[in-house]
Structure 1
Amino acid sequence: MDVENQLLSCQVCFEQYDHEEHQPKLLPCHHTFCMKCIDGLKTSKGKAKCPTCRQEVGLPPGGATHLQTNFYIMEMEELLMGMTKRQKDQDGCQTHANQPLSFFCSKCETAICRDCTILSHRESEGHVITEVAVMKGNFTKKLQERLTKLRQLMQSEEDILSALQVQLSSLNGLQKMTEADIDTSLDKCCLAIEERRQKMKENLRTQHGHIAAKLKDMIIETEMHYNQLTSTSEQISHTIKKGKLQDLIDTAKQEDANNIEGEDATNCSSKEVTIEYPQFSVKDFDALQEIRGGLNRMGSLRNSKWMPAKVDMEPESATASLESCVKVAIANYEDKPLSCLKVALDILDPFGDKVCSVSTEERGNGNYSFTFRPQISGPHKCRLVFHDQTLKEVPILVQSNNPVMKFGEEGDGPGQLFRPRHVHAVGENYFVLDLNKVQIFDKDGKYVRHFHLAAMEEKKEGQLTGSSDVCVNAAKEEIICPEAYIQSSQLYADRILIFDFDGRLKQVMPICNGEKSGGVCVGTNSQGDIIVSDYCHEKLLIFNKKGDITSTFRGIKRPGTIAIGQDDDIMVCDQERNCVLVLNRHASFKHQIGFEGKGKGQFKSPSGVCTDRHGNIIVGDGRNNRLQVFKYDGTFVSCIESTGDKLHQPLGISTTDDGHVLVADKLNHCIKKYKYM
């Protein structure tokens, strides 16, 4: 019955397959359901979503009727029905009452009882008698062998179908590639023809210019000769009109002398009038034949077996923000590996966005390796693309980036933390700010020592003192922190305290001029300047080593944590505008990162920021309880969601040189460490 239920019944309606409306039909995704159910799954777009793999597949215009029938299931059904028919009387013998059918007669192909073996199915008469249990085993073994063979055949057909689909996609891609090659080749011919056209026109213009100049010179010369003849004609007419003999004789003699020169000039001028003008001449038939012959020799279409047909894709386990790899093997239909193909891998995240920066490495023998860095966790799709055609698509589940280590627990004892605000990686140790003390842990998270931020000025009754932030000047082995206090539920800080690594107070720097200051976050640059964010007065202050204010920035609503980047640039969290501002070392605005929201690159009360040696900016997204990584220009890179060990109000952040980030998880009272590079 298990075989019958699994193979001979539709897994949607659970009706047994038949030759009518419940005929088994193969979907393009290779899963089988009855014709009636497939028609019921059809959408208005002529597609259906497979109940097994959830893939949306296209249906023929005529519906499920025109899908391929699964004849293997039909054949199996006939075999099992025949077996059922032969065994339907197993409950008892119809001839001898109350006798179980314990034997089987191979000659008659029917089950018989003990009395039948004596009375009507005697072995002496040629009947072959076998126990029913033995026959069941024989038939079961035979059907299992047939079932195994059928499944092998079905798998073979699936492989062939997959290869054919890959070849169809490859063919479409190769068509585009070949068309581009044809265009490139024949464009060269068109370019050569165009160059010839322009060259001949240029020659024509040159010759035309020479001839036109010559004709203009001849026109001027002829006009001068004509004017001379006109003057002479007028002079002769005037002499004739006067009628004086002597004038007539003198004029005649003069004209007799000039006539010879005039005739010579006229003859000479007549010879020069004939001009040869260039005309286009070509032996059309011969030239066109040569061109056509050349074009025919330029290229031809020939069939090739080097077309992708078989694609194997093996995605490695992937984690958000960390580098992952998909290995691909490509071969033609004859299993010959195909190398040097222009293939690409598109990685689509749960929002349908492409993952940027997918690098390709050809490893030879038809093997390719695609490396990428998932931005977020969740189900992704990997599509192998060949000339804009998808050859194969496989799913990949990107895991959340969870901590590789965490240390600290709620309490006020050594190694215990209570709402830690900041952490700094200094050499092989981690410095953690825990209210009014700094605790030092080694690289394995083991407690080493601590010191109190002593020498804090006494406050009035009802004021709690401590520190709200801390930064480290590793070069000078200094710890810099504001002396913070709470008054009337408000947090203030009037002074900056500077300690050495052993907790000894080195310097006290006032940061207010008689008024309460909200300078609760600090940073220091390579010049030793101290940057203070004053949320009370909505500004950022830069102090030099002497404690003088050198720059002020007021374009911020609720300044928070500070980090120092390249060229001493300043990054500061604006918790009210839900962004991070990037300023230069003189506190002039450069650009903004992020805006309010829950999506990629968006913040809800950013509460921590730091940079790494690669120029990345890591931001603690306070109320979204995650970390986000950006390039220096603000381009979103990835998200550390830590769904396996949720963050609860992440605050101070620090990075290590080996690609890890540490974060003070405030309300979980611990420090968490993540691999992000």
Structure 2
Amino acid sequence: MAEAAAKSVLGTISRGHLECPICCCRFTDPKILDCLHSFCLKCLDKLIRGQPPGTNEIICPVCRRGTAVPDTGLQGLPNCFFLSSLVDEFNKQERLLGDAPADTRTCEQCDDGLEAVSWCLDCDGNICQKCLDMHRKMKSTKKHRIVNLDQSRRHEPLMELRKKDYPQCNKHAHHELCFYCETCKTLACGKCAALDHRTAEHEYREVADAMRSYRQDVGEILQSFDKSREEFKVADNSLTHARNRLKIKVARACTDITTKEEEEIAKIRNKSRHLRDKVTQIGKERDDKFDEVQKSNRDKIERAEQIVATVNDLMQQADDFELLDLKPKVMHNLEFQDELEFEQAQHDLSFIGVKCQDVVADTDLGEVHQEENWQLKEEFGEKGDEDGQFQCAAGVACLSNGDIAVTDIIKHQLMMFTSTGEYKTIIGQERLKKPQGVAAASDDLLLVTDDEIHVKVFDSSLEFIRQFAPSQNEEDDDTDSWLTGIAGDQGNRIAVADSGRKVISLHNFNGSLITTMPYDVYDSFGVIALNERVIFANFFESKLICTTYTGDEVFNVNTLLDGEPVGPWGVCCDDAGDIYVSVGLQGGGGEVHHYSPAGVFIGRVVCGLHSPCGLTFTPSGDLVVADEVSVKILQRV
């Protein structure tokens, strides 16, 4: 069974690494092309014979790169010695497994059938003790290289043992190759160095020094390639997100079109179909562009990975002389690193929307907007002490029917408005003492942080349901709590920002504690709990931070404007996962900024606000901003 298993392993390794891609047989006289792929000499000869007469280039069957045929013909291509050695070693091991018992080997030098004790590398065979003694006495064999049979049984690669000998110079007999000429890119013996490489323009060094420099150069290039891998990941992720966002926006645009179509279905069906196709076509064209860029990036990295893998194999398996002989080709292949660049996603192309209009006679149903812009759709409220007026609107949340809940941290109230800004009702100090943040949870329940220590739950009619105190879930913690931001995710979990204890606590919907993450969330009215991540802001440190539910940091970025730090207040996400942040400016006023899901700044959404704080999205995709003395509703145009 052991012998069968060994044969199976050898066969598997042979098929995976030692077979020519053309003939699918083990390599015979393997040659290396410029792209570092190897093929049998006879296979290359058959390949070039099939090309038009006069062709002086071999096209690699694997990667389709060309290699010039040397003036001396295919024999002039570099030999792949380490593959030849491996094939010889595998053939030898298979013969041994087939001709002798798994645990016994006989001498191959005599007919006495004695047990072999050693292996002669130069005779390439087993020898017994008697023949070993004769080897050491005879003048013709006493310099043969002998290894213990145990070493051979461990399948030590023959090429590793051959590294101990220096190759002989082809030009000067009995002279070892001991120098490498950097100018000529070739190995040389002492006589070559004295005769052919003696002038000043020839820079040559000993083989060991040349290999150290060679390995260092290759190592630096491969290390630089690791950075390219990271750049590729960033570019690939940005393209994937842009494509997903584009799909979501295309779907939303088509939904808006369909809604308008249903309003005037009798007269606009044909025009609706035309406009929807136009949106879809634009989306497809842009997606094709993203796909082309993404495929190009992946092709680049795949080709680069192939080169790196091949070079790594060579660096690990070939001996120094073979590597130096192949140095021009290896370094030429590694030149890809200098030009390896990955194209990032053009974020502007990931947006598509539609502005619908009333249709009359021969006008279109609407127009396609291929760039993302925002405009004020609605504004309600004013400064004052009356119902429906604000002293400091801070937190904001939106229910599924479009109703908007707003907390006023000076008047200590939570007010409810319709989607068009009409005042509906209020929760005063009889049920809320000091409301701060507000969020909408599942089933249109409202979560409110109140009196600095409680989270209170109300239904859509503002009827009180229950409350819990996150600080009471922490033992041996006498720090005063100050609950500000709050959010609920799709799994009915609640994230609460405690600026007093500088933590974010994650709870089940009944208030029981899941975990606590230590983070400074001072004055953070913006907290998002989405897809197992929590995103929040720190105003005084000008930070936008994202962590997983287990506390692992995803990103931690500075919020800047023209290179200067700006303090973030509110945070929310759209249906594609993009992040929107309200910021306060040092000279007064505020803006809303747009970030990617990876925390990369994209651009400004709106400028010239009074003092924006809480943010949320309506079911139709409009952005609602609590702007201290009013609430503004922004729509994409």
Name the larger-Rg structure: 1
Q: TM-score, normalised by structure 1?
A: 0.39
Q: TM-score, normalised by structure 2?
A: 0.41
More strand by share: 1
